[in-house]
């Protein structure tokens, strides 16, 4: 993978991590309720769950990769379709978002476990890994070296994004008040669609 191809991968992964889903809401809620240091424990839980999602997704990729190039190409196009579906879903979002402070005590371990359970209860996360990784993996060269670049890069972006959400936690209700959340969702949805169209029209695995 060239440096330009890696930059495109990073941009797409940032876009995939942006939507305010269950993981983001949980990290924000932890900060709102208990302060930033506690919120960081939720980020750790998301990181652990992301590793589990990644291993499950990459196991599936390896099966298709080793079975037959045609099957792997089919998986890649299914990935494009999934990104389009995500984009349309974000564009149709009603933009409702609110986090309320809780007085209940939560230990560090409880916050980590809760973040893992919330993340693992969302099977769509595995499809995100499948959808994006298959666009950049080449079936004509060894899989291992490619994953040594893509996997750590994706995990690093994931941690940075959820750290950012945790930091923004205390002001999140003001940040996404009124119609701002709706426009945020529309931006994220449009980004999904733009990347999906680009991936469908160009083989970025050779970029």
**Average pLDDT value for residue range 132-149:** 85
**In terms of pLDDT, which residue wins out, 89 or 162?**
162
**pLDDT given for residue 160 in this prediction:** 94
DSSP 24-69: HHHHHHHHHHH-HHHHHHHHHHHHHHHHHHHHHHHHHHHHHHHH-H
pLDDT higher than 80, residue 196: no
**In terms of pLDDT, which residue wins out, 123 or 42?**
42
**Could you give the CA distance from residue 6 to residue 4 in angstroms, rounded to a whole number?**
5
**In terms of pLDDT, which residue wins out, 93 or 151?**
151
Supply the mean pLDDT for the chain: 77
**Could you give the CA distance from residue 64 to residue 102 in angstroms, rounded to a whole number?**
45
What value, to the nearest 5°, has the Cα angle with vertex 154 and ends 164 and 98? 35
State pLDDT tens for residues 6-36: 998 998 898 888 776 778 878 887 887 788 8
Percent of the chain exceeding pLDDT 70 equals 66
Residue spans per domain, the chain:
3-206
Report the range out of 5-14, 27-36, 77-86, 123-132 with the highest average pLDDT: 5-14
Q: Are 49 and 116 in contact (CB under 8 A)?
A: yes
pLDDT higher than 60, residue 122: yes
pLDDT higher than 60, residue 97: no
State pLDDT tens for residues 175-186: 655 555 566 666
**pLDDT given for residue 198 in this prediction:** 66
**pLDDT given for residue 42 in this prediction:** 92
- Chain centre to alpha carbon of residue 20: 10
Other beta carbons less than 10 A from residue 163's beta carbon: 17
Other beta carbons less than 10 A from residue 2's beta carbon: 9
**In terms of pLDDT, which residue wins out, 117 or 51?**
51
């Amino acid at each position: 993978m060239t440096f330009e191809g890696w930059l495109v991968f990073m941009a797409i992964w940032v876009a995939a991590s942006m939507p305010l889903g269950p993981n983001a809401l949980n990290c924000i809620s932890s900060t709102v309720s208990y302060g930033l240091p506690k919120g960081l424990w939720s980020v750790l839980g998301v990181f652990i769950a992301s590793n589990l999602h990644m291993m499950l997704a990459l196991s599936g990729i390896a099966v298709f990769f080793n079975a037959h190039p045609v099957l792997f190409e089919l998986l890649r196009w299914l990935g494009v379709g999934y990104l389009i579906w995500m984009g349309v879903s974000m564009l149709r979002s009603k933009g409702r978002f609110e986090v309320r402070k809780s007085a209940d005590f939560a230990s560090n371990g409880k916050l980590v476990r809760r973040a893992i359970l919330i993340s693992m209860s969302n099977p769509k996360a595995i499809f995100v890994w499948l959808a994006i990784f298959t666009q950049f993996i080449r079936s004509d060269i060894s899989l291992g070296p490619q994953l040594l670049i893509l996997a750590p890069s994706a995990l690093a972006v994931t941690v940075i994004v959820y750290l950012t959400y945790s930091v923004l936690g205390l002001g999140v209700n003001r940040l996404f008040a009124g119609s701002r959340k709706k426009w945020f969702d529309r931006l994220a949805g449009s980004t999904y669609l733009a990347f999906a169209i680009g991936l469908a029209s160009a083989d970025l695995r050779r970029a």
